[in-house]
Structure 1
Amino acid sequence: MTGREDLLLGFRLAVGGGRGSIVRLVLSAFGIGLAVAILLAGASAGTIKENRDERTFAASVKSEPIPGVAPLAYRAATTDFRGQAISLVHLRPTGPNSPIPPGVDRLPAPGEVFLSPKLDELVASDTSGLLAPRLPGKQVGVIAPGTMVNPNDLLAYVGTDTLRSGPMVYGFGAERGYDPMLEQGVLALLLIGLFVLLTPVFIFIGTLSRLGGAARDRRLAAVRLAGSSVRQLRRITAAESLVSAVAGLVVGAALFLLVRGAVPDLQVFRFGLYPEDLAPPWPLVVLIVLLVPALTVATTWFAQRHTIVEPLGVVRESAPPKRRLWWRLLPVVAGIALVLPDFGVASELGRWALIAGAVLLMLGIPALLPWLLDRVVSRIKGGSPSFQLAIRRLQSDSGTPSRVVAGLCVVLAGAIGLQSLMAGQAALGAYQDTTDGRTIVNAEGPVADKAVAAVRAVPGAADFQSMRSLFVTMDGALSSFAVADCLTIEASTGMSGCQDGDVFAEIPSFHKGQSLTLTDLDKKEQPWTVPVTPRPLGSKPAGLAQYQGVRVFATPSAVAGVDLTAASVMMSLRDGAANPDFVELVRNSVASLGWEATVASYNKNRISDEARMFGDARNILLGGALFVLLLAGVSLLVLAQEQVRERRRALGALSATGVPVRVILRSLVWQNGIPLLLGIVIATATGIGIAAVGKRLFWRSLYIDWAAVGVLAAAAIVMVLLVTASTLPSVRSAAKAESLRTE
């Protein structure tokens, strides 16, 4: 036969070999397709970062003066609506050529607002009527889609003519910046994470390409009997493998396009994508299209290296090959050699040495696991019948399950290590709220009286406290000075017996008749004489006082004659009516004051921006790890079904001799579970080791995220149980006497 005829024969054997061949083709095509979809998504990482950077920098402001450009007064504020953050950007032009932010064709006039598409949808869907009053103006347009950093961003451009403070903006579209922390920390972790998620994909592709090995050998023996040469057999084998690979490429492309269309609806905290972000560069697409078929063919040929196909049958090695240890230790030793020395993570060499070391340590898992599994199962004796059946099967062939579990354990090790690093940074950035569920309102001096009256009038408001803020000059330094009524002072200091006219001071040198200077936020100075002997503060300030670091309290009568017009006010209150929308009512009460009044509800733990960034990256990684675990589950399911198909006669013989089906099923659980449990132990140890070394990225202590370890391990165990349960119909069918028939 010619080479073309060999390839055609391989194609016919792949698709025309009966029901078994079709089922095998469908299973392998779906498994490879899922892997291809993940590869295409991973190849889009560069495009995702580039597009997000473009949108981020396009929205960045230029504060350096530009000759001939009238600056734009710009102030960003944030409000929340039922847990969703809404950005309100207040804008006031100072001339006809003031810059215009991206996404709109003109600046909003005073009393007008432009809304992002998602905020426009949220306003339209709000049946409570609580959100519309939060937006200080009439909606006159929608910000162009694609100009927000995330498709689900809730953003409003608000026109105002009262904005007096805030940065002056001369343009939008700042030059590309450089974030040292991102480069040294998060970017390095995400690079390791990308390797963690993509490397097992190649392992699974190679494993899936080995489906139907025994049946393929029997077919090739028949072809050899007809006079084909070994070279022709290789071409036939390659054609068979290429059919499943090409089908997998088609399925993977379809899955990728399906996911790409749903991308705008997927968001992890603040991280979201547009469909055009998931666009892998054409060189990488071509590489994937060439690499996947090449990998399937190479893996199939490699699997037949110990098989001699002869005209009268298939001869396999009677004993499993002895696995050598020395070369399996090389990636582990090289990884340790790279991560142990402290090259300094601030340097490029140090970061890449740490990344390369972590990658080599994880590569040691698929290299060591088959050897370790062989040693473990060879020393196990006794046990229940199902356990003995599983051990005997693993002793005769431990390569296939160990390969699937090895890929899964690479994901577990990397995810455990990176989850621990990121969880540690997020935990260090979190701080516990001490306001005991109070709602805090801040208002600028010019609207302070209006804000106090509006907040007091909120239905259900209880335990109201307020404090006006100034500064007092003592010994050449400024100290925080608060004007408040006795109720607020007693709640903030723990003092009792307060009367209007009293003064409380933490500063020992304070005394009656002392002349001091009070300064407001506008830096206006006013003289003030201490009217009474100050009472010492008996405890550390709490409540409102702790946020201002107040060292001096004065009641209103003690500062009679002092102009408080520019003194901002801080208020706190509680919900006395158990209204779930109480905070929304408070926000609406001061919404008309625009940027000059802000509301914050501290009824849960708050986290810093840095901690939130690590939390976002952590959730992205966890989602990717669980998705790759799903791929491992599909691979394991395909292999389990194929093993049942290949062992139909053996299972039928076991059933005919009186072995119950439930024993066979339990043996399959042990057969899949023993490699998995061993792999989880190795993966956990490797992940903790990576976390212990990787903490040098941030010069902080080790933090093990045991919750993530438990979730990932539990997900892997549940996956094995589900895969085994799914083989029940096949096992019941194989356990029938008909399976013993032969021709």
Structure 2
Amino acid sequence: MTGREDLMLGFRLAVGGGRGSIVRLVLSTAGIGLAVAILLLGAAAGTVKENRDQRTFASSVRSEPVPGVAPLDYSATTTDFRGQAISLVHLRPTGPNSPIPPGVDRLPAPGEVFLSPKLAELVASDTSGLLRPRLPGKPAGLIAEETTLNPNDLLAYVGTDAMRDARTVYGFGAEPGYHDLIENGILVLLLLGLFVLLTPVFIFVGTVSRLGGAARDRRLAALRLAGSSLAQLRRITAAESLAGAAAGLVVGTALFLLFRGAAADFQVFRFGVYPDDLTPSWPLVVLIVLAVPALTVATAWASQRHLVVEPLGVVRETAPPKRRLWWRLLPVVLGILLIAPDLGVASELGRWALIGGAALLMVGIPALLPWLLERAVSRIKGGPPSFQLAIRRLQSDSGTPSRVVAGLCVVLAGAIALQSLLAGQAAMEADRQDSTGGRITVYADGPVADRVIAAVRAIPGAADFQALRSLFVDGKRQDGALVLFAVADCATIEVTTTATGCHDGDVFADPAFLHRGQSTKVTGNDKREQPWTVPVTPRPFGMKPSSVADSLGPQVLATPAAVAGVDLAAASVTVSLRGTTGNPDFVELVRNSVAPYSGQVTVAAFNGERASTEAQMFDDARDILLGGALFVLLLAGVSLLVLAQEQVRERRRTLGALSATGVPVRVIVRSLLWQNGIPLLLGIVLATATGIGVAALGKRLFWDGLYVDWPAVALLAAAAVVLVLLVTASTVPSVRSAAKTENLRTE
């Protein structure tokens, strides 16, 4: 036969070789299809970043003067509505050719607003009427899709004829002038998560490509008897593997396109991607199209390297090679050397060093696990018959199960590390929220302080009201820094501090810091210095937890009468309050009450119902990575199922002999459970140690202490154990069929 005829024969054997061939083709197609879908998502990561960078560039403002261009007054503020952040960009042109932001064809006139599509949907769906007062103008149009950074962004361009503290903008399209540390840190975690999810895929593709090994060996012996050469057998084997790979590429591409079409509905820590962002780069697509079939063929050929195919049968060389340890430790050592130096996550070098080091530690798992499993089972003796059968099987061939379990354990280790890092930050944010006692805090600039205080006091149900005005006093500090100086009435001072018996005119401070009659200077936000003389002997005080004074941390407190000669117009105010009506939208009433002073007021609400933006980011990232880990575990389950079914097929004669000698089927099933469970348990221990190690080395990502997310560890380990139980249970019908004594005659 020619080479072309050999390939065609291989395809016919894969597709038309009977029911067993169809089952094998379907299983291999499903496994490879899932792997290809994940690989295509990973290949689109570069396009996602490039498109996001382009949108960020397009929306960033340029402040350098441009000749002939009338500048645009620009002010960006943020408000929250039921846990969703809304960006309000106030715009005022100074001439007919003032620059126009991306997404609109003209600037909004005073009293007009342009809304992003998602914000327009939110306004239309808001039946409470609480959102509309915060949009100062009449909707005049929509901001074009795919010009906002994320599909779900809530953005409004607001036209105005009066602004305070505005930036002068001469155009749009510039490099952003800041790099958010939290986003950089989460970017590192997501890139590491992407590596964790992609690495096992190649292992699983190789495992799935081994499907049907025993049946393939018998077919090869028959073809050898018919006169085929060894070179022809290799071509036929390659064609059989390529059939499943080609079908898997088609299915994987279809799954990727389905997800791509719905991409805009998915969010990662409130950020998302447009469908066009999920466009894999063509070089990577070509690489996947070539690499997946090549990997399946190479794996099929590698599985035959110890196989001797002759016309009268198949002989497999079973002497296992002795595994060496030194080279298996190299990835672990190199990974620690890359992570140990603190290069920082804000720099490109630091991010890639952390990613590379963690990746090498993950690679150490599939390198070390076969050696550890070989050493562990070689020293085990005794036990019940099912346990002895499993140990003997692992002693004769520990490489195959360790390869499958290694891919699963890479997922476990990466997920444990990432979940621990993210859980630590989420716990820190939750503690910060709990420390506020569910209070709502309003920060207002000096010029509007009195009006803000009056507006907040007038809200129905407002209670536990506390207000402090903030200044700075020139104290006797060795570093020369100014000291925070707060002014509040006696009621607020006694509620927020340990001071008692307060009278208007009192001053509270460390007597060693200030003394009666001392002349000093007080400074407001306008940097204007005013003289102040301490009128009385200061009294010491301490802050009560969860109070507005505790959140500000002033070192000097004074009552209004004590600063009678000081102009407080430039003193910002911090107001704290609670709602007593049980209205879940009380914070929205607070925001609406201060909406007329947008840009000069900030409202912060930390309570059990509404997490802060940072906490929500970490929680969402945890959910996405945990979901991805569970999905890849499902892919691992397909591989384990393939391996278990093939082991039963390969050992039909052996299982029949065991049954004929009186070994119960339940003992054989328990031996398979031990055979799958022992490598998994060893792998879980190794994965947990690796994951905690990566988390310990990477905890400086956000300068927080190590926090091991034991519930996530238990969930992932339990999912892996349940997976093994389900796979073993699925083999029971095959084992019962193989354990029939008739197999001794037919095999």
The structure 1 residue matched to 2:539, chosen from 523, 532, 536, is 536
Q: CA deviation at 1:313?
A: 1.8
The structure 1 residue matched to 2:329, chosen from 307, 328, 332, is 332
Separation of aligned partners in 1, 2:176 and 2:451: 43
What are the ranges of 5 or more consecutive residues in structure 2 without an aligned counterpart?
Answer: none
Separation of aligned partners in 2, 1:137 and 1:224: 83
Deviations 1:435-478 (A, max 9, x none): 32111122333433332233223222211222333445567975
The answer for the alignment partner of 2:645 in structure 1 is: 641
The answer for the alignment partner of 1:454 in structure 2 is: 455
The answer for the alignment partner of 2:120 in structure 1 is: 120
Percent identity between the aligned chains? Answer: 74
Deviations 1:95-149 (A, max 9, x none): 3333322222222333332222222222222333332333333222222111222
TM-aligned CA distance change 1:340 to 1:597, over 3 Å: closer
Separation of aligned partners in 2, 1:517 and 1:360: 58
Deviations 1:481-508 (A, max 9, x none): 4343321121122222334454445565
TM-score (norm 2): 0.88
Moved more, 517-526 or 229-238: 517-526
Moved more, 22-31 or 433-442: 433-442
The one-letter code of the counterpart of 1:452 is I
The answer for the alignment partner of 1:311 in structure 2 is: 311
TM-score (norm 1): 0.88
Separation of aligned partners in 2, 1:700 and 1:595: 32
Moved more, 716-725 or 514-523: 514-523
Q: CA deviation at 1:297?
A: 0.9
Q: Secondary structure at the match of 1:92?
A: strand
Q: CA deviation at 1:720?
A: 1.8
Contact kept, 8 Å, 1:345 with 1:696, in 2: the verdict is no
Moved more, 227-236 or 420-429: 420-429
Written as runs of structure 1 = structure 2, the 5 A alignment for 1:721-732 is 721-731=725-735
Q: Secondary structure at the match of 2:599?
A: helix
TM-aligned CA distance change 1:66 to 1:314, over 3 Å: same
Contact kept, 8 Å, 2:115 with 2:139, in 1: the verdict is yes
Separation of aligned partners in 2, 1:729 and 1:110: 75
TM-aligned CA distance change 1:373 to 1:198, over 3 Å: same
Q: CA deviation at 1:364?
A: 3.6
Q: CA deviation at 1:338?
A: 6.5
Q: CA deviation at 1:34?
A: 0.7
The answer for the alignment partner of 1:322 in structure 2 is: 320
The structure 1 residue matched to 2:499, chosen from 475, 495, 503, is 495
Separation of aligned partners in 1, 2:56 and 2:468: 38
TM-aligned CA distance change 1:697 to 1:558, over 3 Å: closer
TM-aligned CA distance change 1:505 to 1:690, over 3 Å: closer
CA RMSD of aligned residues (A): 3.6
The answer for the alignment partner of 1:285 in structure 2 is: 285
Separation of aligned partners in 2, 1:273 and 1:306: 48
Written as runs of structure 1 = structure 2, the 5 A alignment for 1:531-680 is 533-540=536-543, 543-558=547-562, 563-603=567-607, 621-647=625-651, 651=655, 661-680=665-684
1:404 is aligned to 2:404: yes
TM-aligned CA distance change 1:712 to 1:63, over 3 Å: farther
TM-aligned CA distance change 1:600 to 1:693, over 3 Å: closer
The answer for the alignment partner of 1:444 in structure 2 is: 445
Separation of aligned partners in 2, 1:180 and 1:161: 32
Moved more, 104-113 or 426-435: 426-435
The answer for the alignment partner of 2:266 in structure 1 is: 266
Q: CA deviation at 1:685?
A: 3.0
Written as runs of structure 1 = structure 2, the 5 A alignment for 1:125-274 is 125-175=125-175, 192-274=192-274
Deviations 1:562-620 (A, max 9, x none): 65444433221112122222222222222233223321112259999888877776665
Q: CA deviation at 1:172?
A: 1.9
Contact kept, 8 Å, 1:75 with 1:166, in 2: the verdict is yes
Q: Secondary structure at the match of 2:404?
A: helix
Deviations 1:635-656 (A, max 9, x none): 1123333434555565566567
Deviations 1:524-566 (A, max 9, x none): 5666666x53551422476222344434444445555765444
Separation of aligned partners in 1, 2:182 and 2:588: 35
The one-letter code of the counterpart of 1:538 is F
Moved more, 203-212 or 427-436: 427-436
Contact kept, 8 Å, 1:472 with 1:479, in 2: the verdict is yes
Separation of aligned partners in 1, 2:741 and 2:631: 40
Q: CA deviation at 1:404?
A: 0.6
Deviations 1:301-343 (A, max 9, x none): 11111212221222223xx3222223x5314236425744877
TM-aligned CA distance change 1:726 to 1:82, over 3 Å: farther
Q: CA deviation at 1:282?
A: 0.8
Q: CA deviation at 1:293?
A: 0.9
Separation of aligned partners in 2, 1:700 and 1:553: 32
TM-aligned CA distance change 1:178 to 1:237, over 3 Å: farther
TM-aligned CA distance change 1:114 to 1:666, over 3 Å: farther
Q: CA deviation at 1:250?
A: 0.5
Contact kept, 8 Å, 1:136 with 1:594, in 2: the verdict is no
Separation of aligned partners in 1, 2:243 and 2:207: 16
Q: Secondary structure at the match of 1:365?
A: helix
Contact kept, 8 Å, 1:520 with 1:566, in 2: the verdict is yes
Separation of aligned partners in 2, 1:404 and 1:14: 23
What are the ranges of 5 or more consecutive residues in structure 1 without an aligned counterpart?
Answer: none
Contact kept, 8 Å, 2:444 with 2:573, in 1: the verdict is yes
Number of aligned pairs? Answer: 739
